[in-house]
Amino acid sequence: MPRINGERLLEDLRRIADFGRYQTGVHRPHLSPQDVESRRWLAGRMKEAGLEPVIDGIGNVIGRSPKSGPRLLMGSHTDTQPRGGWLDGVMGVIYGLEVARALAEDPDTSHLAVDVASWADEEGHWGQMMGSRSFVGRLAETDIDKARHRDDGSAMRDALKAAGLDKMPRIELEEGRYRCYLEAHIEQGGVLEHTGKRIGVVTAIVGIYQYRLTFSGIQNHAGTTPMPIRKDAGVAMMRLYNEVMDRFPALAGPRSVWTVGKMSVEPGAPAIIPGKAEMVLQFRDADVEVLKRLESCLLEIVEAHGKRGPCTIDCVNLSRTMPAPMEERLQEAFDEAAEKHAAGDHMRMPSGAGHDAQILAQRLPAAMMFVPSIGGISHHFTENTADADIVLGCQVFADAAAKILKGN
Ligand SMILES: [Zn+2]
């Protein structure tokens, strides 16, 4: 089995963190000057590893193996959240690079072919996972025409031009080229740390349903309007949210989560009874049946509260992304490699966060592996993972990849 070089892996991770370094983390949104620079650096490292790199028309960096025979595709993303962490995404890309090098160095595995990818804009500055969607053929030219930066509203076409990528073709998945897609990522949560495990084998990437609930009442004076005749939209919103919190637990799966991360009342002044209130509720689970149960419960609550009054409720579905199950035989390859290098210290778990693997899974058998996040922190510049866990994860990943490629 291939032996990865832990020092080389960590050095590459530290080097790419220089592009957009922010305190102990990184600020490298897709197509920012630092992002474009990091893509060129990555392409250079791929070339040194014997791959043939291309940066395509959406910003994907794909290092293709010149070797023939069955191939694996591995990757993740190198763009980051604003002032994000140094490992989110990029760790999986550098794992791919290190695995390509380790396979090539071992006479036993040097004939095996892996392609390595850094998918563009996973963090959604321009759209939703535009790079991997482009690769699987689910992104139209008009989607790119329309794409605007979520912060400053600038056009993605202009940013691609500034990066010198506007004339580059977009690379699409070649039918039959790959056996499967593998992605490694930091967990971005605290489950591995809390259970004392070092490797997580992902069973499925959760689906996410989102609803916007708008409550309409009557705006009035907070001092002169008696309680019995008020139509307080804020109260209506909180009562409904309370009932969601009371009823969801009985219907939820063991790993279901639900969140109101956005809530507002209008006009939002201490002496005014809110005439309008709005919240966005999202819920996530790896099982679509659970999502459907939670959804019908929500709709029931909305109907009952709407009938009872005194406020009216408008309920709009914003999105439904389906759970993406990971391929069982690939999970077994990860289990086995993990058992070899970290006996008893691995577990199966769903991914509560979205990842490029859910897009790739639309066209290829896909699997994911996690390493622990210290304190469960991510999307923050303090995000970190112990060096020993980063190195262990890569060795497990390399073993699993070799086993899958050898097909036994
Ligand atoms: Zn990520």
What are the pLDDT digits (tens) for 189-204? 999 999 999 999 999 9
Tokens representing 387?
């060096």
Tally Cβ neighbours within 10 Å of residue 145.
Answer: 10
Nearest to 230 by CA among 275, 277, 278: 275
Phi, then psi, of 122 in degrees rounded to 5: -65, -30
Is residue 309 predicted with pLDDT exceeding 80?
A: yes
Q: How far is the CA of 165 from the centre of ligand 1 (A)?
A: 23
Strand pairing report for 207-216 and 257-266: unpaired
Answer whether CATH 1.10.10.410 is correct for domain 207-321. Answer: no
Residue range 6-205+323-406 forms a domain whose CATH class is: alpha beta
Q: Say if residue 267 is preceded by a cis peptide, omega within 30 of 0.
A: yes
Which residue ranges make up each domain of the chain? 6-205+323-406, 207-321
91: Cβ–Cβ under 8 A, 6 or more apart, which residues?
13, 76, 184, 185, 186, 371, 385, 390, 393
pLDDT given for residue 161 in this prediction: 98
CB 390 within 8 A of CB 186: no
pLDDT given for residue 70 in this prediction: 87
Summary mean pLDDT of the chain:
96
pLDDT given for residue 136 in this prediction: 98
Phi, then psi, of 238 in degrees rounded to 5: -70, -35
Is residue 275 predicted with pLDDT exceeding 60?
A: yes
Beta bridge partners of 181: 73, 366
**Would the CA dihedral through 234, 316, 360, 145 be positive or negative?**
negative
Give the angle 45-384-258 at the CA atoms, nearest 5°.
115
pLDDT given for residue 406 in this prediction: 92
| Burial state string for 53-66 with b = 16 or more CB within 10 A and e = fewer than 16 | bbbbbbbbbbbbbe
Q: How far is the CA of 300 from the centre of ligand 1 (A)?
A: 35
DSSP string, 231-282: --HHHHHHHHHHHHHHHHHHH--TT-EEEEEEEEEES--TTEE-SEEEEEEE
Q: How far is the CA of 220 from the centre of ligand 1 (A)?
A: 46
Q: How far is the CA of 101 from the centre of ligand 1 (A)?
A: 23
pLDDT tens figures, 199-238: 999 999 999 999 999 999 999 999 999 999 999 999 999 9
Residue 276 CA to residue 400 CA, distance in Å, equals 54
Q: How far is the CA of 297 from the centre of ligand 1 (A)?
A: 31
Which residues crowd ion ligand 1, with CB under 5 Å?
88-89
pLDDT tens figures, 98-127: 999 999 999 999 999 999 999 999 999 999
Q: How far is the CA of 178 from the centre of ligand 1 (A)?
A: 23
Residue 151 CA to residue 155 CA, distance in Å, equals 11
Q: How far is the CA of 245 from the centre of ligand 1 (A)?
A: 29
pLDDT tens figures, 21-46: 999 999 999 999 999 999 999 999 99
DSSP string, 201-233: EEEEEPEEEEEEEEEE---EETTTS-GGG---H
Is residue 187 predicted with pLDDT exceeding 60?
A: yes
pLDDT tens figures, 321-354: 999 999 999 999 999 999 999 999 999 999 999 9
Nearest to 188 by CA among 23, 25, 370: 370
DSSP string, 363-376: TS-EEEEEEPPGGG
Helix (H, G, I), strand (E, B) or coil at 129: coil
Is residue 71 predicted with pLDDT exceeding 60?
A: yes
pLDDT tens figures, 153-180: 999 999 999 999 999 999 999 999 999 9
CB 257 within 8 A of CB 284: yes
Q: How far is the CA of 277 from the centre of ligand 1 (A)?
A: 33
Eight-class DSSP state of 354: -
Is residue 138 predicted with pLDDT exceeding 90?
A: yes
Is residue 408 predicted with pLDDT exceeding 70?
A: no
Q: How far is the CA of 150 from the centre of ligand 1 (A)?
A: 18
